[in-house]
Structure 1
């Protein structure tokens, strides 16, 4: 069970009055606006689909039957199908290319030198132990303040590897 101090220490990242108790006018207004927004999307789609469907099936009520509108719906459908086919061709071809590249390059040899890997780990562990204290201390301390002189330089780890000739990047 959390103590009062732990509850006070938690930071509320955001609030939303819609989900709080009360605020009924806000809830009614936002639900009304969301409903109107969805209707503004759904109604034109339903009308368009029904009109297109009615041009093929006389049992469907004719909301409008302008031949130009039906022609445009067919034209947009053809454009969308063409775009979908082009996207499918691109996605499949890029997948094939990347899989072949992975098979040729990545799986033939590792991207790092496995012989140097243990030595790199030992080198970085020694460096961190010397700079920040033993591992047991670092893992069990409750709070630790890094002194300004303990901050790492931009390329200090790379330079450490280069000095011990463990730099895999040539």
Structure 2
């Protein structure tokens, strides 16, 4: 049978945002205005600066005065930004291909950990569990088990166990 999840249970798991909840109109209005002002602050100077370069015939000289030095500066900036963008795209594609190749050829087929040390750590942990909580058969087959305070692990128990057993972290 499918179990229904309540809104309160989901709210404990997920991050809540007052903007997307019902109500909170003041928050929605303020955040929307701040976002719009931010976009206007970005787009107006961009359009103002690039309009004489992109649309020189449609503008009157009274509002926009631009000489050859400014046009060459804008062209240089455009060329620099285009070159930088292409360089970044090429680098990211190269790194992605290299990472995929490395994953497919190396990480998928080879162990990246020490098997002997991992087996030693497992045996140390199984011994510690058996000493504190009983045998493995008992632990797997018991229906109810209560852990007393003395059986709890200390904060550095596992690190100390590995260090003493010769399987340092």
CA RMSD of aligned residues (A): 4.8
Structure 1 residue runs of 5 or longer lacking an equivalent are: none
What secondary structure, in the 3-state scheme, does the structure 1 residue paired with 2:157 have? coil
Q: Relative to 1, partners in 2 of residues 1:161 and 1:73: Cα closer, same or farther, differing over 3 Å?
A: farther
Query: 1 CA distance for matches of 2:121 and 2:27?
Result: 59
For the 8 Å contact 2:52–2:59, the answer to whether it is kept is yes
Q: Give yes or no for the alignment of 1:131 onto 2:132.
A: yes
CA displacement at 1:66 relative to structure 2: 0.7
TM-score (norm 2): 0.55
Question: C-alpha distance in 2, partners of 1:26/1:96?
Answer: 44
Counterparts in 2 of 1:8-87, with a 5 A limit?
Answer: 16=18, 19-21=21-23, 24-55=25-56, 58=57, 61-62=58-59, 64-67=64-67, 68-87=69-88
Asked whether the equivalents of residues 124 and 161 of structure 2 are also in contact (C-alpha less than 8 Å), the reply is: no
Q: Aligned pair in 2 of structure 1 residues 19, 93: CA closer, same or farther (>3 Å)?
A: closer
Instruction: State how far apart, in whole Å, the 2-side matches of 1:15 and 1:102 are.
Output: 37
**Structure 1 residues 107-116 or 42-51, which shifts more?**
107-116
Cα distance per residue 1:52-78 (max 9 Å; x no partner) = 2224xx4xx226351333222112122
Unmatched 5+ residue regions in structure 2? none
Aligned-residue offset at 1:125 = 2.9
